[in-house]
Structure 1
Amino acid sequence: MKILLIEDDRSTADYVAGGLSEDGHDLDHAVSGPTGLELACTREYDVMVIDRMLPGLDGLSVVRALRSGGKDTPVIFLTSVSGIDDRVEGLEAGGDDYLVKPFAFSELLARIHALGRRAPGRKEETVLKVGDLEMNLIARTVSRAGKPIELQPREFRLLEYMMRNRGRVLTRTMLLERVWDFHFDPKTNVVETHVSRLRAKVDKPFPTEMIRTVRSAGYVLNVSA
């Protein structure tokens, strides 16, 4: 699922982002109300997780603005404000669920999945296909031209991100942030090493390559080079 997290507390954001990434979700993160509202209005999400207390514009105001603008994306309020009246206020503002800090990530994940299933007209993507390359997100399997490909967990995440962004040049920074959750340059060749390993499995045994290097830019996955 595509999820928006609006949370200004770094430790909470890292905790949630890491867990959602490991579960295979695509996450955007905003640290203030205005930035989060802009993302929510200009991009499509399956679920939004929003803190109530935010700089610039509080979570209640963000959700009220979204609902008044016709956005019906499911929202989970994630907050330390735990009174009954506070929960009622959050739900009446347009929230669909309310989870109080501290919380167990497993419970947050279950609530996200539940809201995702209830989203109107939404059909969850379980299989990604690019040409003869196929990835099953439920079974966690990959095959090309019907031949199974064994991938390590990080290789799987790297390929999944590439397949979801087929035809788009992905920079080293983008891959570090989305696949490794690094928001800094670790000064290693971790990206290059994993792309090389992925090519050895996805491209080399087959007549056409799909993963291509774009000089001074990054990498792109497409049906053919």
Structure 2
Amino acid sequence: MQKDITIAVIEDDENLRFLVRHRLETEGYNVIQAGNGVDAEKIILANKPDIVLLDWMLPGKEGNEICASIRKAGFENIIIMMTAKSQDVDKIEAYSFGVSDYITKPFNMDVLVAMIENKVRFFVPKNVPEIYKFGNTEHHPNIHSLIRDGKKVELTILENRILLHFLQNIGREITREELMEVVWGYSSNVNTRTLDMHVVRLRKKIESNPDKPYFLQTVRGLGYKFIDEVVE
């Protein structure tokens, strides 16, 4: 079944690029491709694919440079970095300049497809066209924005994911671990303080008094809960 999802395969090894493209197209994805860093940056910014599979070592411009550059240009979709086992990559640093996840070459195609399906399920905004309402605020997840008292408030991609998960689970206590899995797609390498920092920033955008939050409440020792009840 054809999926309304576009994936950019950026890989200089022609054989691997062909194999990945063929498998993804078989799975129903739209695929665009490039074999060097200069072309890669152009097609990513021109086509804005939902997911980028980006090789770390590329002629013309390396993967980390491309990642940093397209993030600076406003590209917010998923970037999965492909690295060889022999490459000594500082993954903590790389996450900071915009990598969403990693897969190590050589990889199993089934594992790659499963990773992509996970990203599509949780992160690709085409799956969530609804508008969510709470208090005097509307959340428009497709455009990463709030409409509050008639004014537009921009959300970062992470704030957007966090808020969307809360609005899909109103009243349910959500652990920090669950939130980290939903937002980053993994949990082991994220510091909970990083998550809490994003929650603090989100509260400033949705709460009348962020220091005494009404909607996004802390559940001590566990995580958070989103409340949207009419006060009589």
TM-score, structure 2 length as denominator?
0.50
Does the CA-based 8 Å contact 1:47-1:75 persist in structure 2?
yes
Q: Counterparts of 2:63 and 2:76 in 1: how far apart (Å)?
A: 15
1:30 aligns with 2:34: yes
Offset from partner CA, 1:13-50 (integer Å, 9 cap, x none): 11101110111111001001110100111112111100
Aligned residues between the structures: 125
Question: Offset at 1:53?
Answer: 0.2
SS in 1 for 2:7: strand
After the TM superposition, which parts of structure 1 deviate over 6 Å for at least 4 consecutive aligned residues? none
In the alignment, the residues of structure 1 paired with residue 106 and residue 6 of structure 2 have an alpha-carbon distance, to the nearest angstrom, of 24
* Alignment deviations for residues 65-123 of structure 1 (CA, whole Å, 9 cap, x no partner): 11111110101001205567533233222111101101101111111111222335322
Residues 34 and 56 of structure 1 are in contact (CA less than 8 Å); yes or no, is this contact kept in structure 2? yes
Instruction: Give the Cα separation in 2 of the matches to 1:59 and 1:71.
Output: 15
Pairing 1:64–2:72 present:
no
Matches within 5 A, 1:134-173: none
Identity of matched residues, %: 27
Contact 2:48 2:75 in 1 (8 A): no
Q: Which amino acid aligns with 1:26?
A: N
Q: 1:7 maps to what in 2? A: 11
Q: Which one of the candidate residues 123, 128, 145 is aligned to 2:127? A: 123
Aligned to 2:210: none
What value does the CA root-mean-square deviation take over the aligned residues?
Answer: 2.0
Q: Which moved more, 1:111-120 or 1:16-25?
A: 111-120
State the AA in 1 paired with 2:121.
Answer: R
Unaligned runs of 5+ in 2: 130-232
- Is it true that 1:95 corresponds to 2:110 in the alignment? no
In 1: Cα distance, 2:92 partner to 2:48 partner: 26
Structure 1: which 5+ runs fail to align?
A: 126-225
Distance in 2 separating the partners of 1:65 and 1:115: 22
Q: 1:20 to 1:59 in 2, by over 3 A?
A: same
- TM-score by length of structure 1 reads 0.52
